[in-house]
Structure 1
């Protein structure tokens, strides 16, 4: 399945929190749900849960997720 890379604007505090949760094997539900919603907004259908990849170093900080999406099927 193809992957769609999603970047969500964040702040440094939230980014640190998300990274800490990820390292502890937990999930930051709000950002995961936002990544899924962004996939839908772009017209694709998520095939799996978003996977946290990391953060960017720029300003604003962005949370990076990879989301498997279904291939477009034209019938």
Structure 2
């Protein structure tokens, strides 16, 4: 199944928290649900849970990056 890369705008504090949780093997549920919602808004149906893959290191705009596995032909 294809993957869709989701970029979520966030602040540096939240980005650090999500990254720390990921390193501890835990999940930041709010951002994971936001990634799922973003995939749905793009007209894609998630086939599983979004997977955190990292953060951008921009100086101004920081984003959380999630990969979401989606169904090939399914649209909402």
Cα distance, 1:60 vs structure 2? 1.1
* 1:19-74 deviation per Cα after TM superposition (whole angstroms, max 9, x unaligned): 0000000000000000000000000100010000000011210000000000015x
1:30 aligned partner:
30
Which residue of the partner structure matches residue 18 of structure 1?
18
Please say if 1:8 is aligned against 2:8. Answer: yes
Deviation, 1:14, is 0.2
Q: Distance in 2 between matches of 1:36 and 1:44?
A: 9
Unaligned runs of 5+ in 2: none
Q: Which 4+ runs in 1 deviate beyond 3 A?
A: none
When the two chains are superposed, the root-mean-square deviation of aligned CA atoms in Å is 0.7
CA drift at 1:11: 0.4
Tell me the TM-score normalised to structure 1 length.
0.95
Unaligned runs of 5+ in 1: none
TM-score (norm. length: structure 2): 0.93
SS in 2 for 1:9: strand
